[in-house]
């Protein structure tokens, strides 16, 4: 754990007889009692975990049958039979230390320390998971938020209200089943709190009144009077309609949703908005099962943010939603490269004709039934009226995590019947990710681990490499610097180039993307390796030409700046090396890993961090979201260093 994380060495976290860890069982183990309380059944061998827990509680590496019986609260005959069964199975060794009693000890000490254990702290709503399986981590992320990880198998989770509100379950029973399947025992107080949070997510709804204006409806008069009208006292509500309904100022709908969300009451948006002119269109491919679920969930809620790993086909699901709605559509993207990719996808996978698709950005300005525009252009005053004047059936917010920023937020006011966001990492280091969901819609996600297991997306192998200083003078520069300059000195540590050369040699014929944060570093790497460096300074036509050459296999290695972080489709990338990054940005870490997450192969990602600097902490933080989604993140020393760790 980092210095700021809760102390998990507290004795309260240690398993004791009768605790949650004591009662947990392994997948292959069963209750050693055959039902009569005397001897273990032949079909139900003794539980190895219980044996390990007893040794930990005792604080000794060996145990006698008498002491084991006391710890297990059983007869000595039952305890001796369990220990003999463990010895017969190979999990324990029996040693006669006459004249002292016979004692037993583990056959494999590594299994005792590497087994999965979960400790729940209900009052703090936190969970410590030690050596959890990938399945357990994936299940935990359905209802909990990863706070910290040691990188050596220990994880700290917290259950926040938003985690319950956004859990991918329509009914609380489904969420409760998942919680009970992963925690070692039932936690009544925690379950009661989660049930209350789930109920809160269904107390307020925005509807369209039969006379055309927007109404906020509460589940009860008490909720309207004591919560909504108390929290919304700044003109957001024009007048009461009934004891449970209030007339909402249409231009302040976003404020209503945000204020109630912050008060602990997310709002369902079920307004009947204009859908614009009809646009008949069909999708020309079959959806994967989880994509069909995404589409169904979106149609049911009329708004939402698709959250899934890079390469999972969020764009294809968006095209299916467009085809299901059959209304004029505005697609908002961060940059022109993405606009071109959207146009190509629309023409390749739908029945739309080229003259039905327009692009509106610095390169060209055409408004069509389906228009692809950049956030910046659509938000400018001199262009805004063109988008305001059209009745959109659907607005797609690609890379939706941009929405809370001042420039991009202006596009959230555009009127549409449906709002769809796409993001692999709806994270913001300014803690404004809640705005993504209040401005666009609720998250619609899937189990990343399930996609890895099914082979739809290749799970990346992520490794953080700690690189020492190549020369003392660079370390002295770091010590004497401060603030941003200090971060840059660590990020551009010249020893990273030697490490990068080693990784490229190890990659062989595989295609490699090298990510850098600083332009001078990118140019230096490009010159040293004799490969292109793609940055925002490069003209768009040449940039796209180099990306296309990489896709076609004509280029083996590219060095890229932040322009490679978002949305650029490079399915042939097999290795990603992050030489420097944007501080501790979890979103950037996920996006860069996403350049290698495609259906085929098992790609590798290396994150280089200068040892003994804050880069170590930043690297772990950038990988935290991936770890939360079940991706295994490992750490090791530099191969290029003269001495290893």
Q: Which of 423, 382, 457, 501 is nearest to 630 (CA)?
A: 457
Reported as half-sphere exposure (CB side, CA atoms, 13 A), residue 391 has a value of 10
Q: Does the bond joining 535 to the residue before it have cis omega, within 30 degrees of 0?
A: no
* 86-103 mean pLDDT: 73
Among residues 222, 274, 216, 219, which one has the least CA distance to residue 246? 216
Q: Is 184 helix (H, G, I), strand (E, B) or coil?
A: coil
DSSP, collapsed to helix, strand or coil, labels residue 615 as helix
- Mean pLDDT for the chain overall: 79
Instruction: Give me the CATH code for the 204-265 domain, please.
Output: 3.30.70
pLDDT per residue over 578-621, tens digit each? 898 764 454 544 554 555 555 555 678 899 999 999 888 888 87
More confident residue, 233 or 555: 555
pLDDT at 112: 53
CA distance 166 to 266: 10
> Which part of the chain is CATH 1.10.10.10?
27-112
CB atoms within 10 A of CB 31: 13
Q: What are the tens digits of pLDDT across the range 146-205? A: 777 665 678 889 998 988 887 877 789 999 999 999 998 999 999 999 999 999 988 999
Residue ranges, CATH 3.40.50.300, the chain? 289-453, 458-637
Give the model confidence (pLDDT) of 526-560 as tens digits. Answer: 999 999 999 888 888 898 899 889 988 899 999 99
Pick the CATH number of 458-637 from 3.30.56.10, 2.60.40.10, 3.10.110.10, 3.40.50.300: 3.40.50.300
| Sheet strand arrangement including 117-121 | 117-121, 126-130, 154-158, 145-149
Residue of 587, 603, 606 whose CA lies nearest to 307: 587
Q: What is the pLDDT of residue 107?
A: 66
Q: According to the CATH classification, is domain 289-453 in 3.40.50.300?
A: yes
Banded model confidence at residue 14, pLDDT cuts 50, 70, 90: very low
Measured between alpha carbons, how far is 565 from 279 in angstroms, rounded to an integer? 33
| pLDDT number for residue 29 | 33
CATH of 27-112, one of 1.10.10.10, 3.40.640.10, 3.40.449.10, 3.40.50.1820: 1.10.10.10
Residue 25 reports pLDDT greater than 60: no
Q: Are 187 and 213 in contact (CB under 8 A)?
A: no
pLDDT, tens digit (0-9, with 9 covering 90-100), for 285-340: 999 988 998 998 888 878 888 888 777 889 999 999 999 999 999 999 988 888 98
Angle (deg, nearest 10), helices 336-349 and 540-551: 50
Name 124's Cβ contacts closer than 8 Å, sequence gap at least 6. Answer: 6, 158
482-496 average pLDDT score: 90
Residue 625, CA distances (Å) to 181, 293, 543 in order: 23, 23, 29
């Amino acid at each position: 754990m980092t210095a700021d994380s809760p102390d998990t060495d507290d004795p309260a976290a240690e398993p004791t007889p009768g605790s949650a860890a004591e009662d947990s069982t392994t997948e292959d183990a069963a209750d050693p009692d055959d039902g009569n309380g005397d001897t273990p059944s032949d079909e139900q061998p003794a539980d190895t975990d219980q044996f390990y827990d007893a040794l930990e509680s005792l604080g000794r590496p060996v145990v006698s049958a008498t002491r084991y019986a006391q710890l297990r609260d059983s007869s000595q005959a039952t305890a001796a039979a369990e220990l003999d069964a463990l010895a017969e199975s190979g999990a324990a060794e029996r040693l006669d230390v006459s004249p002292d009693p016979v004692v037993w000890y583990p056959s494999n000490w590594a299994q005792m320390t590497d087994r999965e254990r979960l400790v729940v702290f209900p009052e703090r709503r936190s969970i410590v998971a030690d050596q959890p399986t990938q399945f357990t981590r994936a299940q935990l992320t359905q209802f909990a938020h990863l706070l910290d990880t040691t990188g050596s198998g220990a994880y700290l989770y917290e259950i926040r209200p938003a985690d319950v509100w956004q859990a991918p379950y329509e009914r609380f029973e489904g969420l409760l089943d998942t919680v009970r399947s992963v925690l070692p025992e039932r936690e009544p107080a925690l379950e009661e709190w989660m049930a209350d949070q789930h109920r809160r997510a269904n107390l307020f709804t925005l509807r369209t009144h039969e006379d055309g204006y927007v109404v906020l409806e509460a589940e009860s008069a008490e909720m309207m009077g004591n919560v909504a009208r108390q929290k919304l006292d700044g003109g957001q509500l024009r007048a009461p309609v009934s004891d449970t309904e209030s007339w909402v100022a249409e231009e302040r709908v976003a404020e209503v949703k945000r204020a109630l969300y912050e008060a602990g009451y997310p709002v369902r948006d079920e307004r009947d908005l204009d859908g614009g002119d009809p646009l008949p269109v069909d999708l020309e491919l079959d959806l994967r099962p989880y994509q069909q679920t995404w589409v169904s969930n979106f149609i049911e809620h009329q708004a939402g943010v698709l959250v899934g790993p890079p390469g999972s086909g969020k764009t294809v699901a968006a095209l299916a939603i467009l085809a299901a709605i059959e209304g004029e559509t505005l697609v908002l993207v961060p940059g022109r490269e993405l606009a071109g990719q959207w146009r190509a996808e629309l023409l390749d996978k739908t029945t739309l004709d080229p003259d039905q698709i327009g692009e509106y950005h610095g390169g060209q300005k055409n408004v069509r039934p389906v228009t692809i525009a950049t956030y910046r252009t659509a938000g400018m005053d001199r262009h805004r009226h063109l988008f305001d004047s059209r009745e959109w059936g659907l607005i797609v917010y690609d890379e939706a995590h941009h929405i809370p920023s001042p420039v991009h937020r202006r596009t959230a006011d555009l009127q549409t019947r449906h709002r769809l966001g796409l993001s692999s990492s709806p994270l913001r280091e300014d803690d404004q990710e809640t705005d993504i969901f209040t401005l666009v819609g609720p998250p619609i996600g899937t189990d990343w681990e399930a996609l890895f297991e099914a082979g739809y997306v290749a799970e990346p192998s992520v490794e953080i490499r700690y690189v020492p200083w190549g020369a003392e003078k660079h370390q002295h520069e770091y010590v004497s610097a401060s603030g941003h300059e200090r971060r840059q000195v660590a990020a551009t540590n010249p020893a990273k180039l030697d490490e990068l050369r080693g990784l490229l040699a190890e990659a062989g014929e595989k295609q490699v993307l090298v990510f850098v944060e600083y332009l001078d570093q990118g140019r230096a790497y490009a010159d040293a390796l004799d490969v292109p460096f793609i940055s925002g300074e490069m003209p768009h036509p040449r940039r796209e030409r180099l990306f296309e050459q990489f896709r076609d296999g004509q280029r083996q290695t590219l060095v890229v700046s932040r322009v490679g972080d978002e949305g650029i489709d490079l399915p042939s990338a097999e290795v990603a090396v992050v030489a420097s990054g944007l501080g501790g940005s979890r979103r950037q870490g996920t996006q860069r890993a996403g350049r290698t997450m495609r259906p085929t192969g098992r790609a590798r990602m290396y994150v280089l961090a200068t040892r003994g600097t804050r880069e170590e902490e930043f690297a772990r933080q950038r990988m935290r979201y991936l770890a939360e989604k079940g991706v295994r993140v490992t750490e090791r020393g530099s191969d290029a260093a003269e001495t290893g760790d």
